[in-house]
Amino acid sequence: MAYEFNAAEIFDVACQIERNGADFYREMSGKISDKPIRKLLTDLALMEKAHEQVFESMKKELTSQEQMLTVFDPAGETVLYLKAMADAHVFNEDAGQDFTLPEYLSEKAKIIKIVRAATSLEWESISFYVGIKEFVTEQFGKKRIDDIIKEEMRHVRILSNQLTS
């Protein structure tokens, strides 16, 4: 089956990605004892939560035409497909469990490893949005997907700045 998505569905998945990202950062903060580093990770979790709120707000601003389903999908399989893609490829619900920090690493080495992993996951999310944008027509909110990509690129800049500071 060929899938087509509208902007509202993309925003639902974007919110899930951001929730998963916030969970990842919160879990990582529990693995760090250095207070400034824990604060950084907590702040990153808060940024993810703020991104989720931005995406929720963007979704609320969609016109009724942008919210229309683009395919007949009475079982809601389209949204399930999108969620599965997000969970499989981007900040997924198990990201923190799958990520290991050897005990022998210094606090600084741990934060560098976490920030690098997070940066990689953020780039994956950007790739996800760029790819999924191809399924959304101009009529159904393609420009809104560009707004998501810009938010994620801003997040990558914040993470990159942490590595250089």
Q: Is residue 114 part of a domain?
A: yes
Task: Count the domains in the chain.
Answer: 1
User: What CATH number should be reported for the domain holding residue 96?
Assistant: 1.20.1260.10
Q: Is residue 144 part of a domain?
A: yes
Distance set, CA 42 to CA 21, 26, 37 (Å): 11, 6, 9
Predicted local distance difference test score (pLDDT) of residue 157: 92
The alpha carbon torsion through 6, 9, 13, 15 (nearest 10 deg) reads: 110
> What is the distance in angstroms between the CA of the first residue and the CA of the last residue of the chain?
48
Q: Is residue 1 part of a domain?
A: no
Q: Is residue 24 part of a domain?
A: yes
- Whether 159 contacts 123, CB under 8 Å: no
Q: Is residue 2 part of a domain?
A: no
Q: Is residue 127 part of a domain?
A: yes
Predicted local distance difference test score (pLDDT) of residue 116: 92
Nearest-angstrom CA–CA distance, 41 and 114 = 9
The whole domain housing 110 covers 7-67+74-164
Nearest-angstrom CA–CA distance, 13 and 84 = 9
SS3 75: coil
Q: Is residue 89 part of a domain?
A: yes
Q: Which residues of the chain have pLDDT under 70?
A: 1-5, 66-76, 78-79, 81-83, 85-98, 135-137, 139-141
Nearest-angstrom CA–CA distance, 41 and 22 = 9
pTM for the structure as a whole: 0.74
Predicted local distance difference test score (pLDDT) of residue 41: 85
Instruction: Classify residue 89 as left (phi > 0), alpha (psi -120 to 50) or beta.
Output: alpha
- Which DSSP state fits 140? G
Nearest-angstrom CA–CA distance, 157 and 159 = 5
